Structure 1
């Protein structure tokens, strides 16, 4: 049991590493193609990668295929796909105007936003979450606000992305207990990819040559970030405490900064680094278990 937990934790750290470094792939990919083109191709690739995994899982474990379950699966996949499309679009455009490290930390704020949005569903918010919000706001100020008290365009777009990713998490939380998570993820990737095709055709003019130039970041984001990392998360969380899992996955934001510095040569000022630290503290605090059942 201890070995399973150990390897599960290692897989979660690997997942966080893949997700964090994928910010670099997203940034580099847009040197050759537009945001909608990048998202369309990588999401469709992510969906394709999950198909053989689903086939293997079906052979290992037969599931009941009720009509109601299929309806929930399709509905969940479509709604999650729409939320994923909107969040990914804001993120992809935002990365064009801000650094990879800042984008990683601002995106991770969805962890704090999720319980706040839960208020809409009449769920109470604990003092711990309000404290997390306060700390994250200070961190966000140091990370994003300039000397003339304005927020950068890219930072604002990524903040919108965090909001829609929080909605995405709430949708997954609602549908995942009722359906197969990997199948729903596969559907959501195809939905997000197909929706991205329409604005791609209207606003961008991708060529086969430009897409081929971006093959490495596209495959990294599609195969590893969407397909492999998601599967690792699903497998690993079976043998890991949920709180530990969420804490390990929050390392995504740290790996984003490290990847941006190591691969792209990006750097953060002292003020921005302090902001990152405060945001990370807020993220950790938001995921610590409560003594009661209040969010």
Structure 2
């Protein structure tokens, strides 16, 4: 009983981190509306990189890896810089609640499919059923039964691309976890992402501070510090105590935060198809992870 009680604070920490990540979606929409995707993308990770350094120092994180680990961090940083741009570009055109739900729900399904097709991961019957439910959830979230290929429009295509990029980043992070401490990995990835996005932001003069209003700065600080540094540290600390097996389930708190905060801030409608698709994706992830790990047919570096 005591062991369960000891984990309560980490369960709470994980929930808080997920809710903040959810609120980051409408907050990101506000920053995109008061600047542009390039500038918002740069400042988000520039702030996260600067503010995570004291956390790394306080936690006495080992700052070491090997050549393969360094390569993983470089690739992840470049991909997240792309994700970061797509995140703000999507929010400048589409709804924050829908984007937060779509990316969070579809990414795990794509990650599983990539693991099976690219890394030849073995799956059992229960996991095949889970993937089938997950694919159906993705179809609902993309509104294919109602709008056909309407998800290819500008509003939704950015979010779909976000989900694809994030699924690849997830696999890279899983591979890198054996070679580098998660917090050091995060530090380097934040730095590479911020630097990459800076080059694309320079034509828009991101360092002219007075050019952007208080709405932009308050929201970018929220995303950079709370959704970036604070929630990331909270996530890794809590995940290390709770266990990776249960971490994926908590990710489905993100759409709740995104949908509710978007409804409150932007008066976005809570669409039934989005809720149904999110619930089905949640069921798929729980079912897929109901047994310990996956046995791999081939180990890939």
- TM interval, short-chain normalised: 0.7 to 0.9
Distance of 1:15 and 1:34 partners within structure 2 = 26
Give 3-state SS (helix, strand or coil) of 2:180's partner. coil
Q: Give runs of aligned pairs for residues 15-26 of structure 1, distance below 5 A.
A: 15-26=17-28
Runs of 4+ in 1 over 4 A off after TM superposition: none
TM-score, normalising length: structure 1: 0.88
Write out per-residue CA displacement over residues 71-100 of structure 1, whole angstroms, 9 at most, x where no aligned residue: 445333212111211222222212222211
Using the TM superposition, name which of 79-88 and 136-145 deviates more. 136-145
Residues 281 and 98 of structure 1, relative CA distance in 2, 3 Å threshold? farther
Asked if 1:187 corresponds to 2:183, the answer is no
Of the three residues 79, 94, 106, the one matched with 1:83 is: 79
Give 3-state SS (helix, strand or coil) of 1:177's partner. coil
TM-score, normalising length: structure 2: 0.86
Q: Give runs of aligned pairs for residues 249-260 of structure 1, distance below 5 A.
A: 249-260=251-262
Write out per-residue CA displacement over residues 129-162 of structure 1, whole angstroms, 9 at most, x where no aligned residue: 4434433343333333375522232222211111
Distance of 1:187 and 1:148 partners within structure 2 = 41
Distance of 1:25 and 1:286 partners within structure 2 = 32
Q: How many residues align?
A: 288
In structure 2, runs of 5+ residues without a counterpart are: none
Distance of 2:17 and 2:75 partners within structure 1 = 24
Q: What RMSD over aligned residues (CA atoms) do the two structures have, in Å?
A: 2.4
Give 3-state SS (helix, strand or coil) of 1:179's partner. coil
Residues 195 and 105 of structure 1, relative CA distance in 2, 3 Å threshold? same
Q: Is the 8 A contact 1:26 1:221 kept in 2?
A: yes
Q: Is the 8 A contact 1:28 1:217 kept in 2?
A: yes
Distance of 1:172 and 1:94 partners within structure 2 = 24
Task: Tell me what 2:138 maps to.
Answer: 140
Q: 1:291, CA displacement in angstroms? A: 8.1
Q: Give runs of aligned pairs for residues 1-295 of structure 1, distance below 5 A.
A: 1-58=3-60, 63=62, 69-108=65-104, 109-118=106-115, 119-145=117-143, 147-149=146-148, 150-151=150-151, 152-202=153-203, 204=204, 206=206, 207-213=208-214, 214-290=216-292, 293=295
In structure 1, runs of 5+ residues without a counterpart are: none
Q: 1:125, CA displacement in angstroms? A: 3.6
Q: 1:3, CA displacement in angstroms? A: 3.0
Residues 276 and 180 of structure 1, relative CA distance in 2, 3 Å threshold? closer
Give 3-state SS (helix, strand or coil) of 1:121's partner. coil
Write out per-residue CA displacement over residues 228-276 of structure 1, whole angstroms, 9 at most, x where no aligned residue: 1110011112221322222123211222111111222111333443333
